[in-house]
Structure 1
Amino acid sequence: MLEGLRAVAAATGPDGPASVGVGSRGVDYGLLGADGALLGNPVHYRDPRTRNAPDEVEAVLPVADLYAHTGVQRMPVEVVHLVGGGARNALLCQLTAEACGLPVVAGPVEAAGVRKPAGTGPYGRSGDGAGARAARPGA
């Protein structure tokens, strides 16, 4: 990534990008100094120190403007979808529900390229949700 950024800077000169945004499916982050060194331990997005971050961002940038510039929406997490081999493990599903305090929907086990075709039930199956399990906190 650093090589790519250096190439962009070299190609665009002083009028090049003023900043860089990086999007990923991971939600942990670490802050880097000007020298590229990690400034502290990475932080998980559910770290208590980040609890007020959405409100702090909204105080500077209204939600509509944030969406217009980035496509990011402010949405609560209401359910955890557990996919892949771990979805077969009822204890893992229950422990995940307990740890997150959220319902867990398990399945499909085959997570790569899963898509729900039009007119079908949960997980692209025949409508019965076969193979899917649910766990709730405290259940």
Structure 2
Amino acid sequence: MNNLSAVMPIEVLLVEDNPGDALLTRIALEDSKISVNLSVVEDGVEAMAFLRKQDRYAHVPHPDIVLLDLNLPKKDGREVLAEIKGDEHLRRIPVVVLTTSQAEEDIVKAYNLAANCYITKPVDFDQFVRIVRSIENFWFAVVKLPPE
């Protein structure tokens, strides 16, 4: 088990503009054996403000991991990923791309931008919950996350 999760909850930032997918992610994480705090923002501009603790996000927790959709309003997920990985204060945060896109071009671009993994969202509820729980089991229980 990750040492952090034994003491403190895992801080997850979900960048997702689809309220249904955000709700499904929240439901899947609620049954977790690991304590998880989920913060949700709906677009790329808000994601970067959250990560940089700007304006209304001045006192938010530093995320241990980011779950990032690619197709976002205002600033798309590819731009967000590039900004995260290009920022010396943010680049160590693992970014899991969780998107509907199965396009090879998106997969290659995400990895070229240093995504930690790329997962295509299933449309089926049960499969979606299984995917989120798989992310949770791997990233929160197996992987040693970097300190802030």
By the TM > 0.5 criterion, same fold?
Answer: no
TM normalised by structure 1 equals 0.25
* Higher relative helix content: 2
TM normalised by structure 2 equals 0.24
Structure (1 or 2) with the larger CA radius of gyration: 1
